[in-house]
Structure 1
């Protein structure tokens, strides 16, 4: 009797799960060749996928949740998916070159999503890009609301000017990454000191920084450099994104599960340098920590003992390893300064020798991976 009740309960749970999946799928439209003509009056968030793609299958339940939530909050953005292998000509027109590719289509513009494939991050992207490129901040209350909600955002302060035109151009290019606002001078908090108007500011790390054309160069390039917080928890995806900033990335490589003094000390030292020496290093360095050394080992083709610090130049694949014992913040500052003045020798790079080394390393890694896999018989059981 108890067994029958258990089986009935399991069947009920399975039915609920299937209904839930079907319910979520109902908010994602399957798109075909008619989409090209029918989409023009709407804003669309589209997943271009391939049926055989493992990453696409992993994204599917997340995508269904995105569709459900966008519908439930009354978003004007429609959510769809297209089999890019069946409708390859349409996918090609939208610049799809890999799977899955997520794009927000708004009029004649197509914005690529390059963030983490989580429901919240994708929805945040859709909200940001589907709205106005530059959003007005009409009051101090609205300014404070934005400051509490966004870790990094950019504000233009002033009237019409060539700088505002450059700000609009930068927003059109970089809206996929960050938020852009405009405000009158009396909306800005009293703690903000402006030497001249108009001005562009970035608010982050519980403070603000003003764009200086003579020191910072091109406005779009400055915004691209400043769109990250100064200290980050770094993973492989974020490290790739940081490569666009042109900055060196100083990372404490630690084991976050290890609570020993050495692991926590190195992380704290990097955090202190990022906070207390920002004015000295922010144009050249991004700071953070990474949990575990597996990704770094693959990147450097080396076996790094942790905890340690590595400084990466993601533009040319060079890196710098500690040449001294790090006891305190001053030791770290000296190490970073020696990288800037060229007294620490860079390793790695993209020379022919390094490329050959990469080929050998990748081949060896593949062989080790295959060797460690269980051998399967024709019946699917391991020998």
Structure 2
């Protein structure tokens, strides 16, 4: 590495690495640290989850060839070679905006995009906003790969994912589903205990609440029925009392008439004597 301080009036620093295309010559207002951060990785490298996190700090888009190194195929070897050639032959065009590499397997990418990527395939990730780009057709030639990368740069390629509100909700649901599935795959008995016990307790609580409400409702109905029956009984009793009063009145009526006749008969002789 060669570092040379230019004329004091220009206030610029010149840095040239062994590769001639890697030179920094910017004025004092520019950020030298950001340039160093972007150029601290090789043009092409093997990528894993940790490396992808580190690449996110550079602000570059990451073009990845998804291959299976345990079961290499002709298509996997061709995609890997194409990515390497683009990283080398088109360095001056794409080095400022892209980082190239390959990843073994698609498990990490599937969890990252909440979907499934076929193996082998090419994907471009924007780690700053969690967007990703997939080619519309399988990449088979260098021209197709370069056209796909240029489409991402000029905005013509369709972007998927993102960090919006809906995507965050999907992320929470996807992470919960993935956690549950991983627990059941690793230990089915433990998964049944961890998730079955709380569900059973909640079910019992709901059942208890529902039955308690129904019991209270039945008690209220019984009370209303009892009140209705008591009112009817009171009415029946009042009617019976009225009937008894009427009967007694009817029975007392003839007796009073007989008593009046007897009194009248007793008075007549006396009246006769007085006469």
Quote the offset at 1:352 in angstroms. Answer: 0.3
Q: How far has the Cα of 1:327 moved from its partner?
A: 1.7
Q: Deviations over 1:241-287 (max 9, x none)?
A: 00111100000010012221100000000000000001011111000
1:130-145 paired onto structure 2 within 5 Å: none
Shift of the alpha carbon at 1:161? 5.3
Match of 1:303 in 2: 116
Instruction: Check whether the contact 1:156–1:199 (CA below 8 A) recurs between aligned residues.
Output: yes
Q: In the TM superposition, what are the counterparts of 1:313-324 in structure 2 within 5 Å? A: 313-324=126-137
Change (3 A) 1:161 1:201: farther
Report how far residue 229 of structure 1 moved.
0.5
Please list every run of at least 4 consecutive aligned residues from structure 1 whose deviation after the TM superposition is greater than 6 angstroms.
none
1:224 aligns with 2:71: no
Structure 1, gaps ≥5 residues long:
1-153, 167-197, 377-383
The alpha-carbon distance between structure 1 residues 163 and 364, as it changes in their structure 2 partners (threshold 3 A), is farther
Higher helix share: 2
Check the 8 A contact 1:252/1:266 in 2, yes or no.
yes
Asked whether 1:344 is paired with 2:191, we answer no
Structure 1 pair 363/209, CA: closer, same or farther in 2 (3 Å)? same
| 1: CA distance, partners of 2:73 / 2:186 | 34
Task: Tell me, yes or no, if the aligned pair for 2:121 and 2:139 is still in contact at 8 Å.
Answer: no
Alpha-carbon distance in 2 for matches of 1:244, 1:293: 22
Does the Cα contact within 8 Å between 1:253 and 1:310 map onto a contact in 2? yes
Counterpart residue number, 2:255: none
**What do residues 72-130 of structure 1 show as CA deviations (whole Å, max 9, x unaligned)?**
xxxxxxxxxxxxxxxxxxxxxxxxxxxxxxxxxxxxxxxxxxxxxxxxxxxxxxxxxxx
* Contact 1:256 1:291 (C-alpha < 8 Å) held by counterparts: yes
CA distance in 1: counterparts of 2:100 and 2:110, whole angstroms: 19
**Contact 1:248–1:313 under 8 Å retained in 2:** yes
Unaligned runs of 5+ in 2: 191-275
Correspondence 1:21-170 to 2 at 5 A: 154-158=1-5
TM-score by length of 2: 0.63
Q: Does 1:234 align with 2:234?
A: no
1: distance between equivalents of 2:55 and 2:9? 29
Corresponding position: 1:202 with 2:49: no
Q: CA-to-partner distance for each residue in 1:16-53, whole Å, 9 max, x for gaps?
A: xxxxxxxxxxxxxxxxxxxxxxxxxxxxxxxxxxxxxx
Are 2:116 and 1:269 equivalent residues in the alignment?
A: no
User: 1:297·1:304 contact (CA, 8 Å) conserved in 2?
Assistant: yes
Q: How many residues align?
A: 188
Q: Whole-Å Cα distance in 1 between the matches of residues 71 and 10 of structure 2?
A: 49
Q: Distance in 1 between matches of 2:2 and 2:119?
A: 40
> What CA distance in whole angstroms lies between the structure 2 residues aligned with 1:303 and 1:355?
18
Question: Does structure 1 conserve the Cα–Cα contact (< 8 Å) formed by 2:6 and 2:14?
Answer: no
Distance, in Å, in 1 between the alignment partners of 2:51 and 2:41 is: 10
Distance 1:253 1:161, change over 3 A: farther
